[in-house]
């Protein structure tokens, strides 16, 4: 009879979330910043927003997304430092190495979050508490004393992530089956990863405003409220069940850049856009993919002023073709967009296919790009990649080099995509 009783799902996942990661790295690198309110900004101008805030800054109400000029008004002792993403990536790899000393990292979820699957001999509450303590001590001793982490442990990865958010900074929350529902019902729906303001409004319109109501739903009702299978998947996970990941693949490659005051005039911003396209092209070739679409996005200095458009491509992967397409979009933008100073530019490559997949229009003599031209342009682009990898970023570019106006600062701040170290030499 006892064998037929349902068993509680075991503690299967440990989720580590580094606290105020970018700001903590800056405090680790510069002892003078420790204990002080610090925000990290993309560029040195008050019109941008904070991309990270130390806990000392958060005490003043400053958060990620707070405008720098507002943050300075909220805290007159605030220290603003420019982001150094190459350092954040280097520390990221040190963190991964340290966690791997204690338990294998199963999934890198972002630059400051990792998930580890636990074996049956290491997932008792006492064992995971000891493991979490050892990881925290290892980070302090071998990576940096300023780098603290909140750790959550639960029966699936989503619950472990939510558990890590329950106690910050430097917390440890173990969602055993006897406390899981009570702890979760104390949260807001917005505490569920992926539930933003738009989704909150959608759920409220369906009569769903509390976690207790969500728990009382059936999986089918949750699916209906979300308007997709994600509602049903989420419902099962909140009830402690493990749900297999859906197969995913990269659908786009893109870069964006917040412009400092000196780069905002259209002629200079155009050079930045060219440089972003070339960086995206290098990544495209490294991934052995071709792109069938290029998108351009710009924001003007005036709040709410945006322009974006795209252009179909004949499945290319060379920088020359990509820059030519970007120039066509830029000319269109300059004619349609009334603003002559830009705050941000971004490019994206989409409709990705394998570099080795035959594309009919690529070999059509009437197409924009014939096979012979494609081969020559690709060979030139690959030669440029090799030169830049050997001699450093921007050793070889496609013209229009004006005194550093197009000089790359390396990959932009990335939260969910971890740049390869090679990108800092592109």
The set of catalytic residues is 113
The DSSP code sequence of 37-73 is -EEEESSS-TTSB-SEE-HHHHTTT--TT-BHHHHHH
Among the residues of 172-299, which ranges form H helices? 177-185, 197-205, 211-216, 219-226, 229-238, 266-286
- What number of other Cβ atoms are within 10 A of residue 368's Cβ? 15
Residue 351 φ/ψ region, left for φ over 0, alpha for ψ in the -120 to 50 degree band, beta for the rest: left
8 Å CB contact between 100 and 93: no
CB 78 within 8 A of CB 56: no
Q: Give buried/exposed letters for 268-306 (b at 16+ CB in 10 A, else e).
A: bbbbbbbbbbbbbbbbbbeeebbbbbbbbbbbbeeeeee
Helices (H) and strands (E) in the chain, counts: 14, 12
End-to-end CA distance of the chain: 65
Residue with tokens 């932009």: 412
- Spatial CA neighbour of 316 closest among 274, 281, 268: 281
The C-alpha atoms of residue 426 and residue 217 are separated, in whole angstroms, by 51
How many whole angstroms from its chain centre is CA 212? 31
């Amino acid at each position: 009879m006892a064998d037929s009783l349902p068993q509680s799902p075991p503690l299967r996942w440990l989720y580590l979330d580094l606290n105020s990661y970018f700001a903590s790295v800056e405090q680790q690198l510069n002892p003078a910043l420790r204990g002080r309110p610090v925000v990290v900004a993309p560029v040195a101008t008050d019109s941008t927003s904070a991309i990270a805030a130390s806990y000392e800054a958060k005490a003043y109400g400053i958060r990620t997304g707070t405008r720098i000029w507002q943050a300075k008004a909220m805290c007159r002792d605030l220290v603003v430092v420019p982001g150094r993403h190459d350092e954040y990536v280097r520390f990221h790899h040190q963190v991964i190495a340290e966690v791997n000393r204690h338990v294998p990292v199963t999934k890198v979820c972002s630059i400051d979050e990792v998930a580890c699957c636990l074996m049956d001999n290491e997932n008792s509450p006492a064992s995971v508490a000891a493991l979490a303590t050892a990881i925290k001590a290892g980070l302090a001793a071998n990576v940096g004393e300023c780098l603290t982490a909140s750790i959550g442990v639960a029966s699936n990865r989503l619950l472990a992530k939510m558990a890590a958010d329950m106690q910050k900074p430097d917390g440890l929350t173990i969602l055993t089956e006897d406390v899981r529902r009570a702890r979760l019902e104390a949260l807001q729906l917005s505490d569920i990863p992926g539930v933003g303001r738009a989704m909150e409004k959608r759920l409220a319109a369906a009569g769903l405003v509390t976690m207790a109501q969500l728990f009382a739903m059936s999986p089918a009702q949750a699916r209906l409220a979300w308007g997709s299978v994600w509602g049903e998947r989420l419902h099962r996970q909140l009830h402690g069940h493990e749900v297999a990941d859906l197969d995913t693949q990269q659908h786009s490659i893109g870069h964006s850049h917040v412009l400092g005051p000196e780069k905002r005039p259209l002629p200079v911003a155009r050079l930045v856009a060219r440089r972003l396209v070339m960086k995206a092209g290098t990544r495209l070739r490294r991934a052995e993919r071709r792109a069938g679409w290029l998108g351009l996005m710009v924001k003007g200095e005036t709040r709410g002023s945006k322009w974006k458009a795209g252009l179909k491509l004949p499945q290319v992967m060379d920088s020359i073709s990509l820059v030519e397409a970007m120039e066509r979009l830029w000319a269109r933008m300059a004619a349609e967009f009334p603003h002559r100073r830009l705050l941000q530019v971004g490019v994206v490559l989409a409709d990705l296919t394998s570099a080795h997949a035959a594309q009919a229009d690529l070999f059509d003599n009437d197409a924009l790009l014939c096979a012979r031209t494609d081969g020559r342009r690709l060979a030139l682009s690959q030669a440029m990649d090799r030169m830049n990898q050997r001699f450093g970023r921007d050793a070889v570019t496609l013209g229009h080099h004006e005194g550093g106006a197009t000089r790359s600062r390396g990959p932009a701040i990335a939260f969910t995509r971890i740049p390869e170290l090679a990108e800092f030499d592109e």
